[in-house]
Amino acid sequence: MLVACGKKGDLTLQSYEKPEAPSRLKAIHRESEIIISWEFPKAKEQGIKGFHLLKSSAGDFQKVAFLEKDNRSYRDTDFVPGQEYHYKIISESLKGITNNSMILILKPQPPPPTAGMISFTVDHDMITLTWERSDETSYFNIYKSTQKGVYSLVPLNPQPLKEPTCKDSFDINRTAFYTVRSSTGSIIRDEGPPSQELTVNPLDFIPSSPQNLEAVPTFENVYLIWKEPSETWVIGYRVYRELHKKEGYVLIGFTYTPSFVDKEILTAKRNYRVTALGPSKEGPPVEIRDVVYEPPK
C-alpha cells in the first residue's frame, strides 16, 4: 500500500494553456543597432519563463537570445544595411508551452549624416528650436529630456519633420535638454547619430537692456518710463539712483511694468539706471543722467 505524505498542487487545463503572444512588434534603426520592441501584459508575466527572440535573413529562423519576462526590447547589432531581416518573439510558459508573435519584416538603410547645431528662441510660453541641415533629403526627429544625456526612444514630434524646426512648450521653472537625429523617414526611422545636445536653462537667461529711458520730473516726484526689451521671459525691472558719484548707484525699487515713480523730492541733479531681470540674472542697464526739475516760469 502506498501512503502519500504530501499533496502536490492540482493540475488544471489552465496550466497547459498557451501564453499570450507578444504583440505590436516595432523596430528602430539607429546607426549600428536595430532596437526591437514589443508589448506583453504586465499582469501575465508570472505565468511565463520569458521570451525567445528569433531572426531570419535568408532562410529558417534562428534563436538569437532568451530574454527575461520583464524585458520588452532587444538591441541587435548583427546586421548589414540594405539586407532584409525577419524577426519574431516567442513567449514561453512555465510549462514550456510557447506562442509566436506576428513576424516583423524590415530592411535597414544606411543612416543619414548627423544634424547640425541646434539653437532656440523663446516667445512667451513657446520655444522654437532650429538646427542646421546635413543634407537636403533627410527628415528629422527631435528628442527632449529633463536629464542630461538621457533620452527615450519616443521623439517630441509625432511625425518625421521635413523642415529643420520644431516648437515646444516652454517652462521657465525647468531646465530642458534637446537633441536631433536625422532620419530617412522610414517606418523604422533609420536614424543617424544624435546632434550636439542643447541645454535650455532659464537660470542662464540674461535679458537685453531696456531702451529709451525717459524721466519726467515734477516738484514732488520723478516719473521714469522706458521701452521693454524684446525677451518675453523678463520678470521685472530694477531701478537705481545716483545722487553722488562717491556713493554710486543705489537700488531704490523694483517694478513689474516699464515705469517707476521716484517719490524722493528732487533737490539736485540725479542719474538713473534701469535693468531688466530674467529668471535669475540681471541684464545690462539703460541710463539717463542729469535729471533736474525746472519750475515753470
pLDDT tens digits, one per residue of 83-105: 999 999 999 999 999 999 999 99
Biggest CA-to-CA distance, the chain: 132
Distance between CA atoms of 54 and 263, rounded to whole angstroms?
A: 81
pLDDT at 4: 41
pLDDT digits (tens, 9 = 90+) for 198-225: 999 999 999 999 999 999 999 899 999 9
Cell of 2: 502506498
Kindly report the CATH number that applies to the domain delimited by 16-106: 2.60.40.10
Q: Selecting from 3.40.1440.60, 3.40.50.720, 2.60.40.10, 3.40.50.10490, what CATH number does the domain 211-291 have?
A: 2.60.40.10
Q: Which CATH architecture has domain 118-202?
A: Sandwich (2.60)
Domain ranges within the chain, ordered by starting residue: 16-106, 118-202, 211-291
Is 193 a residue whose pLDDT tops 70? yes
pLDDT digits (tens, 9 = 90+) for 114-167: 999 999 999 999 999 999 998 999 999 999 999 999 999 999 999 999 999 999
Cell of 226: 522706458
Above pLDDT 70, what percent of the chain?
Answer: 95
Distance between CA atoms of 27 and 53, rounded to whole angstroms?
A: 13
**Residue that has been written with the C-alpha cell 521701452 in this structure:** 227
pLDDT at 2: 37
